[in-house]
Amino acid sequence: MSGRVGDEIQMNETAGGELSIGPLPYIHKLGKPPKQNLLKEIITAAKETFFSDDPLRSFKDKPKSKKFVLGVQAVFPIIGWARNYSLSKFKGDLIAGLTIASLCIPQDIGYAKLAYLPPQNGLYSSFVPPLVYAFMGSSRDIAIGPVAVVSLLVGDLLQAEIDPNDLIPYRRLAFTATFFAGLTQLALGFFRLGFLIEFLSHAAIVGFMGGAAITIALQQLKGLLGIKKNFTKKTDIVSVLRSVFNSAHHGWNWQTIVIGVTFLAFLLVAKHIGKRNRKYFWVPAIAPMISVVVSTFCVYITRADKDGVQIVNHIEKGINPVSANDLFLSGEYVGKAFRIGVVAGIIALTEAIAIGRTFATMKDYQIDGNKEMVALGTMNIIGSLTSCYVATGSFSRSAVNYMSGCHTAVSNIVMAGVVFLTLELITPLFKYTPNAILASIIIAAVVNLLDYEAVILIWKIDKFDFVACMGAFFGVVFMSVEIGLLIAVSLSLAKILLQVTRPRTAVLGKLPRTSVYRNTLQYPEARKIPGVLIVRVDSAIYFSNSNYIKERILRWLAEEEELVKENNLPRIQHLIVEMSPVTDIDTSGIHALEELYKNLQKKEVQLALANPGTIVMEKLYASEFANEIGENNIFLSVGDAVHVFAPKTSNTEEP
């Protein structure tokens, strides 16, 4: 027979030859761990932090030629999957590429306006970056190009430095910021620092995206209502609505409103149809292009532009011109471009990684986050040299790409090919496209960023997460995109600091008819052991929380002593600290335990530790604290400690 640790049993032979069950006469003790080599410990920690995926595993025991091929394949994943590419896969990628191209072309023109850039720069950003990503990216489903949130962020930060009407220096600053955005992404991937973007919590991202969606939609009122003059460049809701109402008497154009509202309704209905039935995913995908074609034709034949309907006018023909000489690599704008690029690069990276992981999970494959960062960084660096601004993965286009049946990143190549033909052949046809249509397309596209279901779920799960979500949301809506982002990051870090500095502790009791000890608040039926207080610490013990943990344990003891006096129960003589969740401890943590031990000695209470891990045990012995409290007071389990301190209670089975 066998039993769990802390509830060991043995078979004893009685005088009559019968067998009886009784507790083992010994208690397991934790062994003293061997000393670790300092260099080995540092290497192990660094490997787990930066190389937990062990990227060199596939290179082991391979000939040099094979290692070279694997090395090239690691940088260009296309070499790996291209060997098994087939005509059937190409058919799926072709359909997907054509579908997302019909969606991206009108969106790119509109998103460029969000960034206060000429429309051709939006199209440029859906030509070169997707081609680079197709060769270097590891996701099969991401559709690359400009996105609404990043475009708004870039435009907001750029126009604070240079007037968008001063086009040449403004574009130069945009290209330089894109260069630094790519450099940031590349550096994070190359040095395997991708874990840093995890500090932006999901709740904060939901709030930031929702606030950005409201801000983007409000910004489009200028195009939707045909407002020509004196519209604010600020993004907060108060400034935008003030501009709208101030222009109501003389700035609105009824023809523009009719065009904008009509096609906005059409786009929302198309989106609803695609959402209700996945078979009709292509309806919302081609609706923007249909809207552009029909509205452009109507404006052209009616010459509504002469009646005040604002149109796109000129879009430069031809593919991306080289912009390497346009970058600000010296002077006053370098620092500004760097700041803008870092912020935009991290937001773009966060969105792309989230999208890639989402669709990888749906298709049951894995993406390498660090390789994704290298790919995204490289494509933005090359993009900055070819008149592009910051590009990343678009959720709406990636969803269409996924539902269209894409198999590989070839769909991005097909999309880039269509954009190439558009730039070379048909950009003049967009001359009479009304701005109201672009505004309608953007509003319809950002509707999905308002994820109210996620907000409700966040409220149900974690109230602090909800505060972070709402803080980011209201920061974007009522202040600015930059302030909202700062609030999102600050609240995410505040939550981490709160959890680190104020970890949870719990008083444990024994569940009836078991040897299991659990939180008495979670399990009211758990029985406390007379004369023994059992406290569990649910965190590593560091300088940031060691004093709090010590004081919290002493408060638990004081509260328990009061209850004991009120109920005339045996006084507390033993305090057991359950340390299984304590993954690590530092010098401050050891000092806190020493102070706790001294405080308990004054109260004539014996301290015991239950189940400390290997790292914790090693440090307890290195500091001599294990010898100070005595090895006999360090146990394998809470059950073992109770067996020693309260043997009668631990052996009594509740009815």
Q: How far apart are CA 29 and CA 34, in angstroms?
A: 15
Tell whether the model's pLDDT for residue 398 goes beyond 70: yes
pLDDT tens profile 260-293: 999 999 999 998 898 888 788 888 889 999 999 9
Q: What is the per-residue pLDDT across 449-465, written as a single tens digit (0 to 9) for each? A: 888 899 999 999 988 89
Q: Where are the domains of the chain?
A: 89-494, 503-645
* pLDDT of res. 385: 96
Give the list of residues 6+ apart from residue 25 with CB closer than 8 angstroms, or none. none
Residue 239 has pLDDT above 70, yes or no: yes
- Amino acid at the residue 378: T
Nearest to 228 by CA among 208, 209, 243: 243
d(CA 70, CA 65): 9
| 652 burial via Cβ count (<10 Å: 0-12, 13-18, 19+) | exposed
Output the pLDDT for position 185.
94
Angle at 578 between CA 24 and CA 614, to 5 degrees: 85
* Model pLDDT, residue 460: 92
Residue 368: per-residue pLDDT = 80
Q: Which of 225-239, 381-395, 474-488 has the highest mean pLDDT?
A: 381-395
Cα(617)–Cα(543) distance, rounded to whole angstroms?
A: 18
**62-71, 311-320, 598-607: segment of lowest average pLDDT:** 62-71
Q: Is the CB of residue 112 less than 8 Å from the CB of residue 146?
A: yes
| Residue 366 backbone dihedrals phi, psi, to 5 degrees | -115, 145
For the ranges 55-69, 75-89, 389-403, 423-437, the lowest mean pLDDT is seen at 55-69
Least confident of 29-43, 170-184, 504-518: 29-43
In this prediction the pTM is 0.78
Can you give the pLDDT at residue 405? 87
Q: Are the C-beta atoms of 466 and 473 separated by less than 8 Å?
A: no
Does 74 have pLDDT greater than 70? yes
**167 pLDDT more than 60:** yes
Checking if the pLDDT of 204 tops 90, the result is no
- Return the pLDDT at 146: 95
Q: How confident is the model at residue 57 (pLDDT cuts 50, 70, 90)?
A: low
- Tell me, what's the pLDDT at 60? 61
Tokens of 496: 């981490």
What's residue 371's pLDDT? 86
Helices (runs of H) and strands (runs of E) counted in the chain:
27, 10
Cα–Cα distance measured from residue 394 to residue 144, given in angstroms and rounded to the nearest whole number: 6
- Using the predicted structure, report yes or no on whether residue 3 has a pLDDT greater than 50: no
CA distances from 12 to 1, 8, 16 (A): 12, 13, 11
Query: Which pLDDT band holds residue 360 (cuts at 50, 70, 90)?
Result: confident
Which amino acid does the sequence have at 486? L
pLDDT in tens, 426-440: 998 899 999 999 999
pLDDT at 183 over 90: yes
Is a pLDDT exceeding 80 seen at residue 58? no
CB 534 within 8 A of CB 580: no
Averaged pLDDT, 189-204: 78
| pLDDT class of 361 with cuts at 50, 70, 90 | confident
- How do residues 561-616 score in pLDDT, each as one tens digit? 999 888 888 889 999 999 999 999 999 999 999 999 999 999 999 999 999 988 89
pLDDT tier at 41 (50, 70, 90 boundaries)? low
Q: Does residue 62 surpass a pLDDT of 70?
A: no
H or E element in which residue 21 lies: strand 19-23
Instruction: Using alpha carbons, select from 282, 318, 307 the residue that is nearest to residue 436.
Output: 307
* pLDDT of 157 above 70: yes
With a cut of 80, say whether residue 78 has pLDDT above it: yes
Residue 117 has pLDDT above 60, yes or no: yes
Measured between alpha carbons, how far is residue 144 from residues 355, 365, 404, 628 in Å? 11, 19, 15, 62
pLDDT digits (tens, 9 = 90+) for 462-495: 888 999 899 999 999 998 888 888 888 888 888 8
User: 578 has which bridge partners?
Assistant: 536, 610
Give alpha helix (H) positions in 303-451: 333-363, 369-384, 395-403, 410-421, 435-446
pLDDT of 410: 95
Record: fold of 503-645: Transcription Regulator spoIIAA (3.30.750)
Higher pLDDT, 187 or 29: 187
CB 488 within 8 Å of CB 199 = no
Q: What angle do CA 354, 363, 283 make, to 5 degrees?
A: 80
The pLDDT-based confidence of 5 (bands split at 50, 70, 90) is very low
On average, the pLDDT of the chain sits at 86
